[in-house]
Amino acid sequence: MTKTRCSIIMTCKGRLEHLKRTLPYAISQQPSEVLVVDYDCPDGTSAWVKENYPAVRVIKVDSAPQFQQANARNVGAAAASGNWLFFVDADILMAEGLFPNLAPTLVTGCFYRPFPAAKQNWGTVLVSRADFDHLGGYDEVIKGYGAEDDDLYLSLALLGVRQIGYPAEWLSEIPHDNDMRVRFCDVPNMLTSQRANGLYVAAKADAWRLLGRPLNQDERQVLFNEAWRAVNAAGDAGEGLLEVTMPVESSIPVQQGWHLQRRLVFTLSPVIDILTAIP
């Protein structure tokens, strides 16, 4: 049986005050290692960690004025030595014994999240190195705030990796406002970013199902750009339309010289509460 070696990976950009409180809880899990990705943090995170917790590995990313969670977590994963990767945000407090309780149950082909999932713990995930590498890690096409975690979970499921829950009360969040969430994002409007990224993730998953394979990077970049175009065109209250013409390999031959070209159409619409809409 392969020995469980866990790398806890935490990213930090402008969250040192949170990390000062949460890092000791991560260390108390007694994993194989704890890594902190200093993502061009303006707070001096690398120096503080090295001075106070020299056993913690620090990976320094320079010249990154905008925070990109997908890239930051991939950088941490690339440096990690564990065969299990535990991604935890800098504002998350881990209960004593969380990982020791999970470790005996871990099975490759499953990934582990708190249940019931909530906004506060949404990005916390434990996944095997084998499954993470098979997927190719987080999708770095995703920019702005949100949805890189949704994409990871959905993409793992499309690979046949099963989601397993553990008690959500094993985690808690240090409360903070939304301004802190988007402080280093190139799109400061959190809702716009979530809407566009969410549209991209949904369209990407449908395209994967239809093609029977994941999209390559060029295809994903085109789709991401189109999702943002659709959301920007719609504005705050309008409807966004995203049309995706599928590659020719997904077409259906109907007779010699003719085929049916497949196209996916997504309409992004605000939810209307029928009861409140009635005058």
Domain co-membership, 162 together with 210: no
Residues forming beta bridges with residue 38, ordered by sequence position: 12, 60
Summarize the confidence of residues 145-170 as an average pLDDT.
Answer: 96
The percent of residues above 70 in pLDDT, for the chain, comes to 96
Of 181, 201, 232, the position where a domain reaches its end is: 181
| Percentage of residues of the chain with pLDDT beyond 90 | 70
Dist. CA 12–CA 57, nearest whole Å:
13
pTM, two decimals, is: 0.91
pLDDT at 2: 67
**Structural domain harbouring 216:** 190-277
What sign does the CA torsion over 49, 50, 52, 55 have? Answer: positive
Does residue 110 fall inside a structural domain? yes
With cut-offs at 50, 70 and 90, classify the pLDDT of residue 279.
very low
140 and 49 housed in the same domain: yes
pLDDT at 86: 98
Chain centroid offset of residue 93 CA: 19
What is the pLDDT at residue 60?
96
CA distance 126 to 250: 34
Phi and psi at 38, nearest 5°, equal -85, 100
- Residue 22 sits in a domain of what CATH number? 3.90.550.10
